[in-house]
Every structure is written in C-alpha cells, then in structure tokens.
Homo-oligomer: A and B are copies of this chain.
Amino acid sequence: MAQPRTLALDAMGGDHGPEVVVPGAAISLERHPALSFVFVGDEARIAAQLAAHPALAARARIVHTTQVVAMHEKPSQALRRGKGSSMWLALEAVRNGEAHAAVSAGNTGALMAMAKLILRPMTGIERPAIAALWPTVTAECIVLDVGANIGATARQLTDFALMGAAMGRALFHVERPSVGLLNVGVEDIKGAEEVKAAHALLKGAADLPLDYRGFIEGDEIGQGRVDVVVVEGFAGNIALKTAEGTARQIGQYLRDAMMRTWLSRLGALLARGGFRVLKEKMDPRRVNGGTFLGLNGIAVKSHGGTDALGFASAVDLGYEMAESGLLSRLAADLETFHGRLGEVPAPNEKNEHERRA
C-alpha cells in the first residue's frame, strides 16, 4: 500500500513557473494518488492554475511569497538574498517536516547551496552530490556526481557509491545495487590516484549493501552494465552533457538521412510508428530530475526549460525517493562504513589530503 507523501514544490522555479509546475503536479498525482502538495510562490498565479485542476486543488496547499531566485543568480548572491524565496521556503518545508521532499526547476547552483544550508549534509558526509538518472539499453542507471563539485577524494567517491546504492535500492527495488567506478581503463593500474584508492576501499568492503563491480568505461554506462556509476563531478557533468549532445546529433543525422530521397521519405512515413517509439525512448522529459544526495532531506532538481510532462517526471522521482525511506537506511550504511574507516586508514588517504591541501 502506497504511503501518503507530501511534496513541497517551488512553483516559481524554471522558465515557466506555475504554468508548468501546477499542470506537472496534476500529471504526477494521477500516477501517484497518495501524493499531496505544498505549492510555494505567487498565490494568485498558483491559484489560477489550480482552478483548472480540481482534483489537485483538493490535495494542495499554497504558501505565498513574491520573492524568487533568478535563473542566473550566483549561488552566493542567492544565499544572501534568497531567504524567504519560493525555493528557500520549499526546502524549509522539508526541514520542518511539513513535506517529504522538495522539487524545484530553478537555478541549480542556488538550489544546491540552499539545500546544503537548510537541509545540512548527513553525518560524516563531506560533500553532497547530484545524481542523474541515465537511460540505458536495458532500463536506467544512476550516475553521480554530475556536477555538485569539482574533484573528489577516494573517501568521497566511496560515499557517492553508498549514496547511489541507497537511491538505486529505492528506485530499482534491488537490495544490493551493482556499482561501477568510472575510469579511463579497466585495468587496476590505470586511472586517477583517487579513483584507484576508492577502488581499493570498495573492493575490500564486502559487507557494504552494494555489489561492487570494479572500473567501468564511458561506453559502458549506456549499456546498463551497472545500476550505479560513480565519478567526480567535473568528468561526470561532461559525460552527461556529452551523451545528451551525441543523442541530439544522431537525431539530426537521422532526420537528414530520411529526407534525402522520396523513397526514404516514404519509408520514414510508413515507419512513423517505429520512429515515434524511438522518439519517446530518447525524450529527455522521460527521465528528468537530478537529485541532491547526502543531505538530511530530499531535494530534486528539474530541468529549467521543461514542460508539464517533464516536470511530472521530477515529481515522480521525488515521490519514489520519499516513499522508500532511503535516508534512514543510508544513514545507517554510512555509519557502518565510516566506523570501519576509522579503524583502517584508507589507502593513499595521506596523499589525498596533501594533494588537495
């Protein structure tokens, strides 16, 4: 039986505000009737949208504010000026126990900074991460970090593995999600020092609630070789954007190729059912929502430019994560793991600190 769950939505975030957020919530409510919502933002605009969605209105509460974080504000500015904004109050609703998760299509850097300040990192977590859902030939996998931070120590990479495994357990319903470390080669001798040290830590951690599969390379992400791919945020962000760009590029090749002759045009017309399936498969709205992991609360970031369907995917993600109780389980995993690290010094731990000092 699905548990009732409340999500706090930043109604003003993204390029379109309530005109996308409210219809998006309505779509997600149809899929998850146990949901209720707190909409934070301009009451008049939110109410105008809710009028068209009576079933949603019956399960919604509005928290009014006129203050909004601009899409291109720097995180430091947003922190100084953003207190009382729709983004801020949505996160506060999670901290105060009024909502189980927050969802915003607003400024990523500002959301990350505010979420860290308001929700606070979990005990023992040095760096929260942004996890992305990545479509694969079999289903989906989780990739983290895709840009919360530049660089990561071995210890932080190992925390990412635990955080990603907790998310994988919640979304994929497997007890020990498989985890790979993204590297430039699969041999033990290759790769960045931090990655090699994280490999050693994870190899020696058979009691962790994950199935560590060693190094994987960039071309294996989309093959669905593992449930969770761990990488520091610079390379992770570049990998994510490169995959998005490659998909767009091939879509363009395909359109050009089908327009070349009247025969290929006719063929494309007949095969349009197949092309529709392909388009759905490659639709970036189908998998929308980066999740901040490692905080005492769930915050989901939707693409800023998405429509109601895309925003609904981010709401679904917030719901599934809130529904699974993953945070308490993750807290226990982290305690076990960090307790053990206290006994055995991590390989290269000293080098790490020297290098990053």
Contact = CB atoms under 8 A, between A and B. Distances in A.
Contacts of A218: 237-245
Interface stretch (A12-20, A168-176, A261-269): A261-269
Interface residues of A, number: 65
A260 B281 contact: no
A272 to B, nearest CB: 7
Contact of A242 (B239, B258, B266): B239
Contacts of A182: 238
A353 to B, nearest CB: 12
A279 to B, nearest CB: 9
Interface stretch (A59-67, A220-228, A308-316): A220-228
- Counting chain B CB atoms within 10 Å of each CB, the highest count among A242, A243, A278 belongs to A242
Nearest to A245: B219
Nearest to A264: B274
Interface string A118-150: 000000000000000000110000000001001
Copies of this chain in its oligomeric complex: 2
A235 to B, nearest CB: 4
A189 B74 CA distance: 9
Contacts of A223: 245, 248-249
A273 B261 contact: yes
A350 interface: no
A150 B184 contact: yes
Nearest to A250: B250
B261 A278 contact: no
B257 A274 contact: yes
A337 interface: no
Contact of A278 (B191, B257, B271): B257
A277 to B, nearest CB: 5
A291 B292 CA distance: 39
A192 B234 contact: yes
Contacts of A235: 234-235, 238-239
20 contacts: A136-B249, A137-B252, A137-B253, A192-B234, A218-B239, A218-B241, A218-B244, A218-B245, A219-B242, A219-B244, A235-B235, A235-B238, A238-B239, A246-B247, A253-B281, A257-B281, A260-B274, A264-B272, A266-B270, A271-B271
Given A235-B238, A266-B270, 12 more contacts: A217-B238, A218-B237, A218-B239, A218-B241, A218-B244, A222-B245, A222-B248, A235-B239, A254-B278, A260-B277, A264-B274, A266-B271
